[in-house]
Each structure stands twice: as C-alpha cells, then as structure tokens.
Structure 1
Amino acid sequence: MQGMSTLLALPLLRTEEPETLLYNGNIWTVDEAQPRAQAVAIRSGRLLAVGSNAEVLPLATARTRKIDLAFKSVLPGFNDAHAHPVESGVQHLRKVACDSDSIEKIQTVLHARALQTPPGEWVLGFLYDDGKTPRPINRGDLDAAVPDHPVLVQHRGGHTAFVSSLALQLAQVNDQTPDPAGGRFEHDAAGHLMGFVADAGMQAFFKLISNKNTREDHCQGAALISKLFVTKGVTSACDADASTDDVQGYQDARDAGKLAMRLYCHVSAASLDHFMAAGIHTGFGDQWVRIGGVKQYADGSISERTAWLSQPYIGIPNNYVGLQLSSR
C-alpha cells in the first residue's frame, strides 16, 4: 500500500476524530491510482481517510467504533440513475405485486385482493413484466380472475397497462374507439380489444381511479422504498418524474428520520408551474433531497414497445414504430 489515499491529506485528518473505523477489509476506492485499501475512517457520514491498516488505525480514539471486516469487501453505494422511488413505495402499500412468471399465480393474487375489495372498487396491480410470462396477460385472464371488479395491472416500466373488460366498459373504450394521440389500444387479428393500453391510452382509466393517497402515504412509501433500496446496496437515486407530493413525501420521511437514501429529483413537467411558483429551482434542497431538472416525455419505453423508432417493431402489424409523446 503506497501512502494515504488522496481523498484527504493526512495532516488535516488528525484534527478530526473518526466515529467509525473499518479495517482488515478489501475496500474498493474507485481510484485507479489506488484501487484497493484495507481501512477507512468515517465521521458524520463522510470519509476522513482511506489507506492501509497501519495508516488509518492510529486515527482511532477510545470513542471510535472499530469494526474488523475480516477481509470482507466494501464498495461505495450504488446510484440508480432512473427510478420512481416514492411512487413505487406507495404502490407497494396499495397495489398487488404481479412480478410472477406465471399467469395463474398473477390471477391468484388478483383474485385474493378482489375478495378484500369493496364492490365496484378497482383492483390494481403493478410490477408486471410480460417478458417473464409465457405470453402477455390479456383481458380474458383478468376477467377470469376478477369478474366483478374493474382491473388494471401496470407494466413494471410504467408506460403500459393491462385492463379487464369491466374496466374497458367503464372507460367507454370499445373496438371502434380510435387510439388517442400519443396512446394505443391494442386489438387482436379480428379487431377486438386485447386489454393492452399504452401511454396516453392509460389516461382513460387513470381518470376513473380515485387517488386516495395521502401525505402520510407518500411519507410511508418513501420510507419503505428507501429501506428496500439500501438492502441492495443502492444508497442514492434520481427520481425521474417527481411530483410535488413525491418531493413532500421524501422531505417528510427525512424529517421523521425514516429516509435511508439520498434523492435527486427531476420534477414532472406537469408539476413545473407549482415548483416555480414556490420559488423552487435546480439545486434547491440538501444532501438528502435535492431538486434537479425537469422530466419531459418524448416517447415511450423500449421494454414495452412504445419507444418511437426509425424502423417498425418486429412482430407488430401495420408498420408500428412506437409512440411520439411530444414534438418539442
């Protein structure tokens, strides 16, 4: 080990007392000049020193918590550059997880939720991935599982959803309904609706679903999802479409001491006027919750075949090239 890491010069370190010191480890420094270290000293969530055991251990005092890593590895926390954390957290609280590779298992969990749902209210699913199941789910699958409630199951990518026949009826969407601008209602070869709706096509259903999420729901959602993130080593994320409610949820969770990760928020274009009226701009916030840029949609999602391409998608008729959501 050649000298101290360049994270901080040694003379400055001796003026600060580390709260925690990790040693006997395989520490990834992300520094090409010194890719590995044995020990690291920490104070108030910041690194004070990185180097060999011989260099860092003398910085400890009687009050320093020392942890022998027994040669285990330590990596910097990962950053998720595109996520929707608080939205996902609220969904975990309110919706049915449909991330199974079995259509039958998805039907089972939706049916179980329907048994607990008051008559006429929606049964909502999320996290569905049509790449996992043998084929995409359709309205027939949802009708069989939940015949007496409208059902909407959103794809994990957020740009598409699968709805039941009762949902289509309530939204007044039928075989003859034209696709909305920036949206799509998928039909089978006979011209009948499949129950698959994309991007702007989802709005016909979203507007029928009562949003009962409270400020406390957003706080709980932020707290829950941040804990799930850090269990996977993700310690910071960019919220790629944050509403005013989302940012409030992060702030409330932070103030309650329940926010376990750092957030950088690109605000939703739909909420931009509200942020600007409040004097909130890029850079506003602190190390835990900070405002970034503005999220504007140009097209859809590759994984859901709604991204706008220069060549048609394979396997989708009529030279379908995706959806353009904005011309700006």
Structure 2
Amino acid sequence: MWKLWAGLVIGGAAFGASADLILHNGKVVTVDGAFSVQQAVAAAGGRITAVGSNEAVLRERGPATKVIDLKGKTVLPGLIDAHVHVLGSALSEWREKLPVFDSIATIQKWVREKAKITPKGRWIIVPRTLPPRLKEMRMPTKQDLDVTTEHPVAFDGSYVWSANTMALKISGITRDTPNPPGGEVVKGPDGEPNGILRNAANLLKGLPRAEEYPESERLAAIEKMLRLYAEAGLTSVADRAVSPAEAKLFEKLKAEGRLPIRVALTWRINSNPPVEQIVKMI
C-alpha cells in the first residue's frame, strides 16, 4: 500500500529517477494548506514524488513505471487512528463472533439463552458493549439483568460495569459498601445499589478468568486485526495500553515482516503499587 501524507510535493519531482507508480485521472486529496484536490500522484521508493495535473505528473513516467487510471476515483492520505487496543480487539472475535447488541432487550435475550446452557451459579458476562450503541443510551441496571435469578450476571461496559441482584449479593455489595478509590457504587432512589459500578468492577467476586491464548494465536490475531485496519484505509495506529509482554508480540511481528501498517505503542503502567515501585518500573 502506498502511503500518502500531508505536505506533498506539488507539481515537481523530489527525485530525478522515474516514478515506480503513477495514479492519474482521479481526485487526489492532498490535505495541504489549501486542502487542494489534484488529478494525479507519483511515487518512487515508497515516497510521494509529485502531485498535480495529469500532464505534469505523467512526465515522471519511465519504462518500468506502473500507471493506473483512477477513472475519477478518490485517493486519500493514509489515515491514522490514535487510540486503539489491537490485541483486545483481535482476540474478542478470534474464536467466535461477538453478538450484536443494539438495545437492552437484545442483551436480555442473549442472557436468557446463555442461562439455558450455563450451570446454575456460574457467571454470565455480557461481552463489552458501550451504552451509546444501545437504543436506550444508558447502562443496564440490576433489574434489566435480572432476567435470570439463578446466575450472577455482569455487563462489561469498559470502565463502568453493571451487575444483577445475584451478582451483587454474592459479591457482598450493599448500600453500606464504601466506594472504592476513584469509583462509585451507584444507588437508586431507594438508597440501594442499582447495579451500576463506576470504576468499581473490582468489587465483583469470583469473575471468571480471561480466556488464555497461546502466543501463536495472539500473533496471528494481531496480524489479522492490523490487516483489517489497512483494508479500512488506516496506515498507522496507536495502541494506548500495552504491557511489556504485549509489546514483545509486536516486536516479533516486525522482525518477521508481518506488520502491514505502522504501530505506536503506549505502555500502561500499573498504578496500584507505591509510587517508589512505579518509579523503579519506569
């Protein structure tokens, strides 16, 4: 994939050699200061060498140049997504597709079906879903999740979770439970927990451990996710929360030539230990 960037050379060549690739007869969105749209673009050595009119750019053609007639199609600069979680996204559907939740009713239906095949007393975890995707535009409450009374149910809303009555009971969460640091046990008008836990999912007891994947599957999942990003027009992404172990996976893919796009990694430090220990880790 040729990566186009803002600050392109307009009209002239940056190199004396012939272009490797010319795209012409299209709409080339340059994202320059004037946000101009040109007709053609040339590239050589993985770099943009010329952008401008068809006539001007086609002068860069040589005997080995690949020339593509865009027939009016649009060329965009490579897009950058500055906040992704590659491994989590990749593994979320690696072994099975995620259910589609667009309302609390669809969540309730899924919980009922899961309850039929889950032993009594075992946790049912609703896969991560952000409330803005739901028709109701809100978090489910314990009443919403009480469609089964024989299973503890938790709804994963990322930083905010919610739980049904049984989940609150076995976790010992009551009206007298103190809020954890930076979190909140949300109460209803009656003063009782309504099931919503803001930055307080750690109060839930006995949650099943995350599914484990061998390194080979994690590597393959990351590579597949990055290729999906590339197909969507992304040429760079920034993963905002990786551990040192996860960073090594990306390093291995890079060494094997299996990174189809650029990736920037941000180390998420465990902030729970004492400050001195955190400084030492850094």
TM-score range, shorter chain: 0.7 to 0.9
* CA displacement 1:248-292 (0-9 Å, x = unmatched): 343345456554432212210228989986xxx9xxxxxxxxxxx
- CA RMSD across the alignment: 3.5
User: For residues 136-147 of structure 1, what are the structure 2 equivalents within 5 Å?
Assistant: 136-144=139-147, 146-147=148-149
What's 1:189 paired with?
Answer: 189
1:125 aligns with 2:124: no
Aligned partners of 1:112 and 1:254: how far apart in 2?
42
What amino acid is aligned across from residue 211 of structure 1 in structure 2? A
Q: 1:238 to 1:57 in 2, by over 3 A?
A: same
Q: 1:182 Cα shift?
A: 0.8
What's 2:226 paired with?
Answer: 226
Aligned partners of 1:220 and 1:204: how far apart in 2?
34
User: For residues 266-285 of structure 1, what are the structure 2 equivalents within 5 Å?
Assistant: 266-270=266-270
SS of 1:238's equivalent in the other structure is: strand
Contact 2:114 2:124 in 1 (8 A): no
Q: 1:160 Cα shift?
A: 0.8
Contact 1:150 1:167 in 2 (8 A): yes
Structure 1 window deviating more from structure 2 (29-38 vs 174-183): it is 29-38
Q: 1:117 Cα shift?
A: 5.5
Q: 1:35 to 1:203 in 2, by over 3 A?
A: same
**Unaligned runs of at least 5 residues, structure 1:** 282-328
Q: 1:107 to 1:221 in 2, by over 3 A?
A: farther
User: For residues 239-278 of structure 1, what are the structure 2 equivalents within 5 Å?
Assistant: 239-255=239-255, 258-270=258-270
Contact 2:139 2:196 in 1 (8 A): no
Aligned partners of 1:232 and 1:173: how far apart in 2?
44
* CA displacement 1:40-67 (0-9 Å, x = unmatched): 2234543233222222224334443322
User: For residues 1-328 of structure 1, what are the structure 2 equivalents within 5 Å?
Assistant: 6=9, 10=13, 12-15=14-17, 17-18=19-20, 20-32=21-33, 35-43=36-44, 45-93=46-94, 97=98, 100-113=101-114, 120-130=122-132, 132-134=134-136, 135-144=138-147, 146-155=148-157, 158-199=158-199, 201-205=200-204, 208-214=207-213, 215-255=215-255, 258-270=258-270
Stretches of 4+ aligned residues off by more than 6 angstroms: 271-277
Aligned length, in residue pairs? 268
Q: 1:30 to 1:167 in 2, by over 3 A?
A: same
What's 1:301 paired with?
Answer: none
Contact 1:113 1:123 in 2 (8 A): no
Please give the TM-score of this superposition, normalised by the length of structure 1: 0.67
Aligned partners of 1:202 and 1:236: how far apart in 2?
32
* CA displacement 1:209-255 (0-9 Å, x = unmatched): 31333334543442343344334433322222222243234334545
What amino acid is aligned across from residue 87 of structure 2 in structure 1? V
What amino acid is aligned across from residue 239 of structure 1 in structure 2? D
**Unaligned runs of at least 5 residues, structure 2:** 1-7
Q: 1:43 to 1:216 in 2, by over 3 A?
A: farther
